[in-house]
Structure 1
Amino acid sequence: MKNWLALILGLPTANATERMRAWRALKASGAAVLRDGVYLLPDIGTCRETLAAVERDILAINGTAFILPVVDPGGERFVHLFDRSDDYDKLRAEIEACAGLLNTESVSAITKQVRKLRKTYEQLTHIDYFPGRPRQQTDQALRGLEVAISRALSPDEPHSSSQPVTVLNCDDYRGRVWATRKRPWVDRLACAWLIRRFIDPDARILWLNTPQDCPADALGFDFDNADFSHVGNRVSFEVLQASFELQDCGLNRIAALVHYLDVGGVQPEEAAGIERVLTGLRETILHDDHLLAAASAVFDGLLAGFVNDDQSNE
């Protein structure tokens, strides 16, 4: 048996602004329209909050609003009203169109478009109360395109392996040479920062022309067959985190940011600004050691900000 909530409302005819505001809030929540002025949502926490907020707004302008429980003994009577298959099909068609246009010349424009598609996907899943195969297919298509974009932007990006992540002791990795590919982007920059900040403060970072140039005694990261690289759905930063058990909340938020900027996925709110800053640094600072120093200051600031946020919320 599924339970539902119905909102029955009446708005003053002269108040078009509030009528539109209520309609937009209900549309954004994915509410089904049973008839004019009668809306239906599943009886879950987020939906109850949405309907209560609309009810308060309507009553504040002397309208009428009633939230009533609706019992569905069969459990399926209203489910079809929330079918998002058409929305997923439309989104998947846009994803496939972008994939068909992807090449080295279009990758920048396609990247911007895919960020919008990812946002649309997240909004759609937020109101997909009964997910099924269409959601899974769309997620796979979007992730596949994000990986293809990453490959186009950096053809020598490492492939993901399935090897297990081993827990290590930082004391065994002090005063070492750590090597990665030159002209680093977000994952390599963040890894180098993490290494010096939390694992090996005296680390010497060696920038390689090719992974094949890595010395035998150096610890490689973020290239195929390196000591630390992509594993499963984790980027190299997340693998280093897991390997050395560096899992405080501030670092986890940086990890989510690095993951998104490197391979896509759920977009943190800071992503666009940090991407712009790091892109500007990479374009204007040609010496990789100097680039790392500038990027490290950005990551230090991010970590401090995230830690302050966490302390404020306690």
Structure 2
Amino acid sequence: MFLIHQVPAKPDYLRVKVRRRLAQLGAVALKNSVYVLPASPEGRSRLGELAREILRLGGEALVCQAELLEGLADGSLEDLLRRASDAEYTAITAEAKRLASTLRRVRASDEAGRRRFGQAVERLRTRFDQAVARDAFEARGRDEAAGHISLAAGHISLAEDLAQGVEENDKRRPQPAASPSGATWVTRKGVMVDRIASAWLIRRFIDSLADFKFVTGRGYRPKNGEIRFDMAEAEYTHHNGHCTFEVLIERFKLRDSALRPIAEIVHDLDLEDSRYGREETAGVGRMIVGLAIASTGDEERIAQGGPVFDSLYQSFRRRA
């Protein structure tokens, strides 16, 4: 569908208002005064409303549904709309990364700061939902944006846990058995890279009979035989600038050299501080985000993440 319109030159705010409304609809400029939108009953209704508003403002407008015969194919229009959606998803992804990075500098005791960032993530999620509603052709950047919003939300959850007293204070953590077997390992719901990797490490190198339990994290009190990781007051969690995966390797004295590069990848993905800058990191991150979006729950995320880390482990073993 096309909106062909002309807005009076004055006052200037009229043009800005119309442009903003077109952007909210997800319409893309084909020419200066010609905008295109995927054909749908809702789109027709909303373009019609905008056309009537332009007429009320003293401008000219018409809405039409047309088949392009020469000069530009329908497929090219679809690509144009996809690129517009991808540009929005790229901006959302960048903002989610910025929020996650900034949140790490907020003190655990700063409740107002955590609340402010939580509200910012919710606004970003709303913006993402609106972008999805406009994205008729499923642009490629959608999944990555969704994954980074989930990561940002996960950082807020961890920050809330830290506020309850887990702030890198090993002395207050109960000490588990040196060699657990068949234990229930408890962590926060919504597992992402550090918890997925840690679950793989636990089952592969620490406790092959491990069961996993997923809880909200806040105020959870473990039952007999339960070991917590990557959550408030956990036996194993972030410590001295290390992610949980690194802490597990250190505390269980795992000396397998193939685990070190995996730890570096997990560290950079989880803490986003680019400390190690391994070339595999971006690809692993995309795989984890993809499987997290496609999965139906935490058990499935862990099950699907295992082969990713198995493959990495075998690759690094061959290089050793």
The match for 2:257 among 249, 260, 267 is 249
Counterpart position of 2:183: 176
Q: Distance in 2 between matches of 1:152 and 1:290?
A: 20
- Other structure's SS at 1:184 match: coil
Contact in 2 for aligned 1:179/1:208 (Cα 8 Å): yes
Question: Aligned to 1:287, which of 290, 297, 308?
Answer: 297
2:242 matches 1:234: yes
In 1, are the aligned partners of 2:103 and 2:155 still within 8 Å (CA)?
A: no
How far 1:248 moved relative to its partner?
2.2
1:204, distance to aligned residue in structure 2 (A): 0.5
Distance 1:309 1:273 in 2: 18
CA-to-partner distance for each residue in 1:7-39, whole Å, 9 max, x for gaps?
xxxxxxxxxxxxxxxxxxxxxxxxxxxxxxxxx
1:292 CA drift (Å): 0.6
Corresponding residue for 1:110? 95
For 2:93, the aligned partner's letter is: S
SS at match of 1:197: helix
2:287 to 261, 270, 277: 277
| Contact 2:174/2:235 (<8 A) preserved | no
8 Å contact from structure 1 (residues 178, 203) kept in 2: yes
Which residue, out of 209, 217, 225, partners 1:202? 209
Inter-partner Cα distance in structure 1 for 2:258 and 2:176: 21
TM-score normalised by length of structure 1:
0.50
Report the TM-score when normalising by structure 2: 0.49
Please state how far the C-alpha of 1:279 moved relative to its aligned partner: 0.5
> 1:192 Cα deviation (Å)?
0.8
Q: Is the 8 A contact 1:181 1:208 kept in 2?
A: yes
C-alpha displacement of 1:216: 2.5
Q: CA deviation at 1:212?
A: 2.8
Point out where structure 2 has 5 or more consecutive residues left out of the alignment: 1-89, 107-116, 118-150
Post-superposition shift, 1:111? 5.5
Alpha-carbon RMSD across the aligned residues, in angstroms, is: 3.1
Q: 1:5 — aligned with what? A: none
Aligned length: 178
CA distance in 2, matches of 1:234, 1:304: 24
2:277 corresponds to 1:260: no
Residue 154 of structure 1: aligned partner: 155
Provide the residue aligned with 1:225 in structure 2: 233
- Change in Cα spacing, 1:194 to 1:108, as seen in structure 2 (3 Å) is same
Question: 1:92-131 alignment to 2 at 5 Å?
Answer: 108-110=93-95
Shift of 1:247: 3.0
Write the distance in 1 (CA, Å) between the matches of 2:200 and 2:208: 10
Q: Report the 3-state secondary structure (helix = DSSP H, G, I; strand = E; otherwise coil) of the residue aligned with 1:212.
A: coil
Q: What CA deviation, in whole Å up to 9, does each residue of 1:252-272 have, x standing for no partner?
A: 111111110011222211111
Q: Identity over aligned residues, as a percent?
A: 31
Aligned match of 1:18: none
Aligned to 1:75: none
Question: In 1, Cα distance between the equivalents of 2:209 and 2:154?
Answer: 31
Q: 1:193 to 1:297 in 2, by over 3 A?
A: same
- How big is each residue's C-alpha offset from its partner over 1:232-288, in whole Å with a ceiling of 9 and x where there is no partner? 111111111111001322101111111100112222111111111110100001122
Structure 1 residue 207 displacement after superposition:
1.1
Could you tell me how far apart the structure 1 residues matched to 2:92 and 2:294 are?
21
